[in-house]
Amino acid sequence: MSSFKGSYAYSVDNKGRINIPARLRKYVSTEANDTFVITRGYEQCLFVYPLDEWNKLEESIRHLSPTNSRHRFFMRALLERATESQLDGQFRISIPKELLQFAHIENEVLIIGVLEHIEIWNPGIYEQYLKTQSESYETVAQTVLQK
């Protein structure tokens, strides 16, 4: 089971390639076969799933009803941008332009491991995102991890 954690300030080269941090690579199962699926995430960031984790997600979508218009919308929005990408010799994935634009990514990115997936952010947008949180970390922790 993969369990990503940590944040990493990395760069994107002019070919749209992003290195997958070595610390995160360790947790990718061999079943993923060095393949990742990149798609839109929440709050203008990108989600990157190892192939085996993506397959689990896909399995849960499969149970949605194609006759329900809200379900249809969700499936389209999620799958529209989903792109498969395999690591190159230097352990990088290449991100399509459309996804880079979606997340407003230019040269620098913040990569965050969040358990079963990896998030890719424009560093400035992430900073703003943190500021928009009305509650402090301590306050949220108190209610989320209450004993």
Residues at the contact surface with a second copy, assessed by CB under 8 A: 3-7, 23, 37, 40, 42-43, 58, 60-62, 64, 69-84, 98, 112-115, 119, 130, 133, 135, 137-138, 140-141, 143-145
Other CB atoms closer than 10 Å to residue 29's CB: what's the count? Answer: 12
Distance CA 16, CA 120 (A): 13
Interface residue with DNA, options 38, 50, 92, 99 (CB under 7 A) = 92
> For residues 16-55, which are near DNA according to CB under 7 A?
16, 19, 21-23
Rg over CA atoms, the chain: 16
Under the binding rule (CB under 7 A), the answer on residue 89 touching DNA is: yes
Bridge partners (DSSP) of residue 52 are none
Residue 67: CB minimum distance to DNA, A: 30
Per-residue exposure over 75-104, b if at least 16 CB sit within 10 Å of its own CB, e if not: beeeeebbbebebeeeebbbbeeebbebbe
- In the complex with a second copy, the residue whose CB is nearer, 17 or 81, is 81
* Interaction site with DNA (CB under 7 A): 8, 10-11, 13-16, 19, 21-23, 85-86, 88-92, 94, 96-97
